[in-house]
Amino acid sequence: MHLASFLSARYIILEKRDLSPVQVYENMIERILHNHTLPINKTEILELVLKREKQAPTALPSGLAIPHIRLKGFEDIVLVMCFLQHPLNIGGTEVSWLTLIITDEKSSNLYLNMVSTLLKLSGNSEAMRSLHEAQDPNALFNQLQRLDLDIHQELYVSDIMSWQPYAIHPEATMRELIAEMDSHQVAGLPVVNETGKYLGEVNILDILKVGVPDYVMMIEDLKFLHSFEPLEKLFERQDDVRVKDIMRKDETYLHPAASVVEAVFIMMQERKRYISVVDNGLLKGVITAMDIFRKIIS
Amino acid sequence: MGAMILALVIFGFTYVMIMTEWINKTTASLLGAFLIIVLRIVDQDSAFRIVDWNVIFLLIGMMIVMGILRETGVFQWIAIKTAKLAKAQPLRIMLMMFAVTAVISAFLDNVTTVMILVPISILIANELKITPVPFIITMAIASNIGGTATMIGDPPNILIGSATHYSFMDFIYHLSPVIIIITIVSLGITWLLFRKGMKVSNTARANLMSYREDNLIANRKLLYRSLVVVFLMLAAFILQDRLQLKIATIAMLAAVILLIFSNRKKVDHVLTKDIDWSTIFFFIGLFIIVEALQQTGFIALVSNNIIAFSHNDLKTTSMIVLWISGVFSAIIDNIPFVTTMIPMIQNIGTHFSGHAMDPVWWSLSLGACLGGNGTLIGASANIVSVGIAHKNGYKLSFWDFTRLGVIYTLSSLAVSTVYILLRYF
């Protein structure tokens, strides 16, 4: 999500006067209250801001200060920015840019990521110069939009997948496939060629399917059958059935930059518990439902 | 005249699309129908009014009834019971399955019949370690023959029944005798063709005999209720005249009762899976296209020529209708063919009175239904059966099927000829 989505020109102040820190804070708070209804009034907010600054100043060497307060049950983030023509001295640090943030008592990932985005921006001198050159709040806002500042809070497949997946060659026999699955304790494997090119997947059901011909699948109900010869003789064919004969070529796979939400979506929709991760035709890894589950509960 | 030519072009185009399957046949039929409305050959109001809702609701009602009956597992049960009653002897199984398929198909549509029975017959043949190909071919043929016996067995009969005054009982009275004879003759042909070369080991037979078909009936209560409803529905069909009800109403009533029995709250499953909407829309499109031929005078033109050609002789007309329908149905879908033929025969009928037209109508039904066996592409049941065979690795070419199909078709059309001549003239 974008930082600019939290702003508009109304939340940006271009201060040309030479003011004290408290005056700057007051202006910013007024601007918020002008556009927002908050459960507390201006004086209370100012008190909280000053109290927080007293505990530990939020000014940074890069010239950015992030005064902020936390409100119980607020469950949102409101911010206002102030760019100063005459830098302020806050606790010994020269500050030319302030961002006042009001957020929930519990610090959310979003809030933390937003702060880290602001920090990164303040360290980027070229971007900062372009912002300070802006002549009015509208131009400033447009410039912020142009900078396309992403608040990284999505989790990507590449963050949680296993990077060194086991895989099988299409020419491998069913016997080799079973041995491979057995030794790694997995129920399915991606299929790749010598160069690591992703070709498809093969899983335990594909092996069993060798013993269940199509016409059996067409019978609606098999309760009358208690044994079925082709299934029982399945393992006699271990050496003549190859992976390429039974593999699935059109399984859905993911790009490492895909979001975890997309991975979960595909898992639900296609009822599968693992998905191959492919980049540029090459197998990069495998993401399993368990990987995602562990990540979420941690 | 210009409108007639335009209607004929659309009609011909639709036929070619249906035959070549260059686009899906339902799409082709709807395209033709709405082109006719767009080009103002028939206006929308009369086009929608011409759709025979008796046919549409009979089809929908029967699809629901049979879909629910199918869910009870009773058809599979019958198939396996038959194989066991035949003591797992291949030729006996084939003959008994032929008869059973014919009977089931008299009430169930042919494609559904083979879709249920063909996979089981492949399973049985594999268990017995013999080739399933003869089973597959004879089953498709049996379903086409059996479907001819009743008004609800095959779409051509539904169309004829709805367009004429004939009741459910009339179909049984006029068609069942000849279908029974044809079935017996076909069983004889099957016996002659396949009596040799089907040796089966004792172990294989014992395996088949150990099938527990009773496990298939999961919901006995639903089965008994469904059978009662189906029985009452058939009884109502037979008493149709006395009840003063149209056949579609009876079928829909039975369908609604079964919907309540099978699942009181949810019907989506039945409505989406069991009703073949593609067929329903295929019919709707065809009704409109044929109405264009009717309104522009083409139907009258052709039927007057047939009358002139046969010198007002219904014996000749019947024979022409029987054999032309037989040949055409072997090559093209018999549904559009019969839809086109019905107004022509109605037109011829205006020159005659009373029951004089009976043999012509029954000739149309016999020719159109039985002709489907003539080639692989003659009937949907053939295509579906061979499709199942292909998917399981049994290669069956057009000629493999047609070689056998022609024998059955010629013999059944010959029996029909004799029957029509002896019974009606």
Reported in sequence order, the residue ranges of B160-200 that DSSP labels E, i.e. its strands, are: none
Best of B201, B392, B396 to substitute, by most chain A Cβ atoms within 10 angstroms, is B392
The rounded distance, in Å, linking the Cα atoms of B171 and B362 is 8
Strand partners, A274: A288
Minimal-distance CA residue of chain B relative to A224 = B212
Q: How far apart are alpha carbons B145 and B190 in whole angstroms?
A: 14
Percent of chain A topping pLDDT 90: 31
Q: How many CA atoms lie within 13 A of B151 on its CB side?
A: 27
Minimum distance, in Å, between the CA of residue B110 and any CA atom of chain A: 17
pLDDT value, residue A153: 66
Taken in order A35, A37, A39, A41, the sign of the CA dihedral is positive
Residues of A in contact with B213 (CB under 8 A): 224
Confidence label for B380 from pLDDT (cuts 50, 70 and 90)? confident
Between chains, do A225 and B213 touch, taking CB under 8 Å as contact? no
- The set of residues, in sequence order, having a beta carbon less than 8 Å from that of A5 and lying 6+ positions away, is none
Amino acid A298: pLDDT: 63
Q: Which residues partner with A13 through β-bridges?
A: A82
Chain A residues within 8 A of B207 when measuring between CB atoms: 227, 229
Quick one: average pLDDT of A109-115? Answer: 83
Label each residue of A5-71 as H, E or C: HHCCHHHEEEECCCCCHHHHHHHHHHHHHHHCCCCCCHHHHHHHHHHHHHHCCCECCCCEECCEEEE
Check if the beta carbon of residue A231 is closer than 8 Å to that of residue A212.
yes
Mean pLDDT calculated for residue range B138-144: 93
Q: Which of A213, A214, A219 sits opposite B120 (nearest CB)?
A: A219
Matching residue, tokens 């014996």: B315
Q: What would the two tokens of residue B151 be? A: 């008004």
In this structure, what token pair is assigned to residue A132? 């300070």
Angle at alpha carbon of residue B140, lines to B92 and B384, rounded to 5°: 135
Contact between A243 and A204 (Cβ < 8 Å): no
Q: Which of A220, A229, A230 sits opposite B76 (nearest CB)?
A: A220
Average pLDDT, chain A: 88
- Which tens digits make up the pLDDT trace of A139-150? 888 888 888 888
Q: Does A225 touch chain B (CB under 8 A)?
A: yes
pLDDT in tens, A184-225: 988 899 999 999 999 999 999 999 988 888 888 888 888 888
Eight-class DSSP state of A103: E
Q: What angle do CA A125, A127, A133 make, to 5 degrees?
A: 100
Q: ipTM score of the complex? A: 0.75
Mutate to test the interface with A, among B120, B123, B208 (most CBs of A within 10 A): B123
Q: Does A216 touch chain B (CB under 8 A)?
A: yes
Residues of A whose CB is below 8 A from B127: 229
- Residue A108 pLDDT greater than 80, yes or no: no
A214 touches chain B (CB under 8 A): yes
| Predicted confidence (pLDDT) at residue B365 exceeds the cutoff of 90 | yes
pLDDT at res. A93: 86
Distance CA A176, CA A195 (A): 19
**pLDDT number for residue B396:** 84
CA of A232 vs chain B CAs: smallest distance (Å): 13
* Chain A: residue whose CA lies nearest to B218: A223
A218 → closest Cβ in B70, B211, B388? B388
Q: Does A218 touch chain B (CB under 8 A)?
A: yes
